[in-house]
A and B are shown apart, each in its own frame.
Chain A
């Protein structure tokens, strides 16, 4: 089949689909965790009972993860309605109401996609969509990721067809002009990397998609692979054509089973249509892609380590040069790009580099895809033009800090990034501005922290992670981070000295200088940014043995306020695993501080109308 025929087939299937009532259910990992598969089954059985021919289509992540499970009902000639937090009980109501009847059930809807109906918000007009620009996410949640025809019918593989008619030089020039920079963290110009790999002499050449996403707190690559795997595959084939590679790998972490599954299906389907494999679309290009599953090591996201991991060795970074573009996998020229970088490529080729270059800032083109989590109201996936400010992301897209709490910091870039305070919220997100502020774009994790988060604990958390994940090759990284962690442990447990703060700076400098790879070089960013922007919290821990955010276990105590405790209730006593709570003469509950393990259960179960259990710091203030 030539592409025109493939396209025709996809389009006719797609158009036939539009004639039917469709129920889209967001069934990426996040949706599943919220119960999306139960919702799918409930719809199916309800529809079967009524003999309805409406279709239930599992789709990927729509980005509005806070409202999952998400359902969109689309009917020919009617407006489409989106429902959030759909329970299996709500399914029957939706089937009766909108699938079979005329009642769009707007009172339980998140909003409508077409014209604003009375009583329900018009989704494209929600504040977040004024900020969002969905380019690489444009199909996520709209198509069935397990059906290649959905991808093709929505313009997929058009970029590849165009690229196959172009020379390597033309493709590389196009990527160069677009200004695309790698989304794996460091922001290296993609076109430049392709060019160097194209010029490398060795044969064969390899293309690798880095889908390791080992940063805790990042999940955009996962969501993209689960929701629109072909966009990454297409980007890889275009790259292979540009540099003349014959074999590619998707290196994906095994903690992402659904992403692995969807990639496998995508590869099989692309191969079946002749878009992958031998003599792609009769162009003479032959390219295969295999999946390599990571085995859980953060350092394997680093390019040279990743290549060793594919070879079946320990994933330990090595000294450069030689660079991977000349001597990578099996010492052959290897092009390695991030998931989001590769997913941007088909769009650039299809719509043109000039168009792409109009989006973003002078130094950072295109969009930034973030996994927004933590203490905001609307957690999920967001895609905004580079240059959008942190404040716009947190307030407009994220809906601000949840639960009426006070904003404290936003953590960007995972363990390589940093924590930025309120005063830096007007920083635009782009590679250079973030680096200037001491953080990094990283892999796209963004976690909002509020007054209940302790910044010393946050720094401790990242260092603990890094110290466990250090491959151990460099002494400064292996032992330096360990020492740093010990100092932070002392501080969080009230055993710190004020001189420690200087030592933290000194050690950080040494670790940065004495480390081979990015893991060690950036490991101290969380420490340095928290020290720079939240020094007073460190000082409170050291000088007053107090944790202002009431987080650090050794520095807090639980206390039951006698005036608030309802005498009749014994929830806390029943739940306390240490039997630390007793009744005083007035049957008010009292915590025996010598027995308390600070598990927090009593606080959790104290009915909200009493709210009698509180945390205090320092622990000495619990004496009464």
Chain B
């Protein structure tokens, strides 16, 4: 049975598609924008994109699943990405990942029931000198340890509580200006 997508989703999607051509070369940029907007690739959006570009939906899925960046399930309000590049691995990144799994109570690739935290691994964000690092949203947390994981999670909660409070000095920096 065809599932009707929410109107909001379709509206947002239309806005994205409006400034793209209908050529295959647009596929990945479109998928990237859709993911930027929704945090993941909703099924309805992928079908709509296939329509728009006039390519089979299997081809859209095939492309989306080939690349690590794309995810087919939602991300949390706090998307946690643990870097497991070489430097991070050699300095204990895996134990940091395990600590997140333990403290949040989900496995890598999953999201908490309330949609707050999702957990993923990335293969190097190019911040090797600060290894091991964890990226949460746009904030980079350098020189992580399993022990610091609890701190970081508390910090996220506090941030939620008082939206205006900036991150404590020296604990994190931001990727965006």
* A interface list, Cβ under 8 A from B: 29-38, 65-66, 68, 87-88, 213-219, 222-223, 254-258, 292-298, 309-315, 371, 373-375, 379-380, 411, 414, 445, 447, 449, 453, 458, 461-462, 465, 469, 471, 575, 577, 599-601, 604-605
Contact = CB atoms under 8 A, between A and B. Distances in A.
B87 A373 contact: yes
A123 B142 CA distance: 26
B127 A599 contact: no
A461 B67 CA distance: 20
User: In this complex, which of A35, A215, A310 has the most chain B Cβ atoms within 10 angstroms of its Cβ?
Assistant: A35
Interface in B69-101: 69-70, 84-87, 89-92, 95, 98-99
User: In this complex, which of B27, B128, B175 has the most chain A Cβ atoms within 10 angstroms of its Cβ?
Assistant: B128
Interface string B116-154: 000000111111111101000000101001110000000
A216 B28 CA distance: 23
B123 A216 contact: yes
B31 interface: yes
A458 B84 CA distance: 12
A32 B147 contact: no
User: In this complex, which of B62, B70, B124, B126 has the most chain A Cβ atoms within 10 angstroms of its Cβ?
Assistant: B126
B127 A33 contact: yes
B129 A600 contact: no
Contact of A216 (B25, B124, B176): B124
Contacts of A600: 92, 95, 146
B122 to A, nearest CB: 7
B129 A379 contact: yes
B148 to A, nearest CB: 9
Contacts of B84: 216
A46 B153 CA distance: 32
B128 A255 contact: no
A255 B86 contact: no
Given A447-B90, A599-B98, A219 B127 contact: yes
B113 interface: no
A575 B147 contact: yes
Contact of A295 (B28, B85, B86, B147): B28
B168 to A, nearest CB: 10
Given A29-B175, A293-B32, A296-B67, A601 B146 contact: yes
B177 interface: yes
Given A379-B128, A447-B86, A577-B102, A37 B177 contact: yes
A294 B122 CA distance: 14
Contacts of B145: 604
Contact of B32 (A254, A465, A575): A254
B159 interface: no
Nearest to B29: A293
Contacts of B123: 214, 216, 296, 298, 465, 469
B129 A65 contact: yes
Name the prevailing secondary structure of the A interface residues.
Answer: mixed
B177 A29 contact: no
A217 B173 contact: no
User: In this complex, which of A295, A447, A471 has the most chain B Cβ atoms within 10 angstroms of its Cβ?
Assistant: A295
B169 interface: yes
User: In this complex, which of B24, B31, B85 has the most chain A Cβ atoms within 10 angstroms of its Cβ?
Assistant: B85
Contacts of B125: 29, 255
Interface in B1-59: 23-29, 31-32
A453 B146 contact: no
B174 A32 contact: yes
Interface residues of B, number: 52
A328 to B, nearest CB: 14
A165 to B, nearest CB: 35
Nearest to B139: A33
B170 interface: yes
A213 B126 contact: yes
A455 B176 CA distance: 37
A330 B126 CA distance: 31
Contact of B173 (A33, A65, A310, A575): A33
A335 B137 CA distance: 36
A312 B63 contact: yes
Nearest to B146: A601
User: When A and B form their complex, which 6 residue pairs have the shortest distance between CB atoms, in order from nearest?
Assistant: A217-B86, A296-B68, A295-B67, A216-B85, A373-B128, A219-B126
A218 B129 CA distance: 10
A465 B88 CA distance: 13
A313 B27 CA distance: 8
A605 B127 CA distance: 26
User: In this complex, which of A35, A255, A414, A601 has the most chain B Cβ atoms within 10 angstroms of its Cβ?
Assistant: A255
25 contacts: A29-B175, A33-B127, A33-B133, A34-B130, A34-B142, A34-B173, A68-B129, A216-B86, A217-B87, A219-B124, A223-B126, A258-B175, A292-B29, A293-B32, A295-B28, A295-B69, A296-B69, A296-B123, A312-B23, A414-B86, A447-B90, A449-B90, A458-B90, A462-B86, A600-B92
Given A216-B123, A256-B126, A447-B128, A599 B25 contact: no
Contact of A311 (B25, B70, B124, B170): B25
B32 A29 contact: no
B68 A312 contact: no
Contacts of B86: 216-217, 373-374, 411, 414, 445, 447, 461-462
A312 B66 contact: no
B87 A295 contact: no
B31 to A, nearest CB: 7
A255 B122 contact: yes
Given A447-B90, A604-B146, 9 more contacts: A33-B127, A34-B130, A216-B123, A217-B87, A254-B69, A257-B175, A313-B24, A373-B87, A380-B129
A324 to B, nearest CB: 17
Contacts of A34: 130, 142, 173
B144 to A, nearest CB: 11
A214 B126 CA distance: 9
User: In this complex, which of B28, B85, B86, B123 has the most chain A Cβ atoms within 10 angstroms of its Cβ?
Assistant: B86
Contacts of B147: 575, 601, 604-605
A414 B69 CA distance: 21
Nearest to A85: B170
Nearest to B147: A604
A215 B124 contact: yes
Nearest to A219: B126
A503 to B, nearest CB: 25
A303 B27 CA distance: 20
Contacts of A297: 66-68
